[in-house]
Amino acid sequence: MEEGEEINEMLSIKIDEIQKQVKSGKINILNYELVSIFTELQKTINVNYLDKNSKTYMKACNLLEKKFEELRKLLGSLDNEKKFIEYLKLDPDDGEINQLFDMCWRTTFNLDPLSLEFLEASRKKLGKLEKKSYNIEHLKMSRKSGEYFILSVPEQGFSDHLLEFYDSTIEKLPCFFDEIFDGEHDQIKIYEKFVYILHLLQLGKIKFQKETNTLYI
């Protein structure tokens, strides 16, 4: 590849990169100097690879056209700003200013299920709904003859059972709370052990650390 052709390839890649940065907003084309690109292109013109020269030249012209377009917009905005300032100096009334800006706002779309009208109507309907009050009645504990009661106290004293549980449990401590119930499948027995633990905690015989879920002495 000849030197001029190589430079042409490099310029083509450079122009593509500039276009990407302009589109992404990383650079402002108005602040980018393009004269050097056209100067380099002029030096690389060769009949042997004129097709490549033409394609690169078209890319550079597109970039230049983009710069002129941005410059036109900038000059137009500056001119409009001057016109607006001159208009305000005429001291227009509020109605005229409102009419001037009337077409500047975009109309928002409106979905009925999400509209303010729908939400307001829903609020009014919900506000009319009567709240039912519920009376809480405490259950009365009673035992009938021959009826088994889950919380009945065994014939042996509660304190004796509590001490037996404490003696059988103290060897496991420290341990996780759940490990106390390992191997126990009878729900009644699990409940009894849970009650014993509560009493031992209250008596200070054992302690519980919430952060680690651990029982210890």
Handedness of CA 80, 85, 89, 92 (dihedral sign): positive
Identify whether 112 is part of a domain. Answer: no
Q: What confidence score (pLDDT) does residue 211 get? A: 85
- Which tokens is 205 given? 């015989």
Do 98 and 164 lie in one domain? The reply is no
Q: What confidence score (pLDDT) does residue 217 get? A: 82
d(C-alpha 130, C-alpha 213), whole Å? 45
Domain coverage including residue 201:
158-216
Do 92 and 176 lie in one domain? The reply is no
Q: What confidence score (pLDDT) does residue 24 get? A: 87
Identify whether 135 is part of a domain. Answer: no
At residue 216, what are phi and psi to the nearest 5 degrees? -155, 170
Q: Which of 78, 102, 126 is the last residue of a domain?
A: 102
At residue 32, what are phi and psi to the nearest 5 degrees? -105, 130
Q: What confidence score (pLDDT) does residue 151 get? A: 47
Only one residue has tokens 């009419």, namely 99
Domains contained in the chain, number: 2
pLDDT below 70 — which residues of the chain? 1-2, 75, 78, 100-114, 128-156
Identify whether 16 is part of a domain. Answer: yes
Residues with Cβ within 8 Å of residue 66, at least 6 apart in sequence: 22, 29
Do 22 and 98 lie in one domain? The reply is yes
Identify whether 209 is part of a domain. Answer: yes
Do 7 and 94 lie in one domain? The reply is yes
- pTM equals 0.37
Q: What confidence score (pLDDT) does residue 203 get? A: 86
Q: What confidence score (pLDDT) does residue 146 get? A: 52
Amino acid at 28: N
Q: What confidence score (pLDDT) does residue 17 get? A: 92
Do 97 and 172 lie in one domain? The reply is no
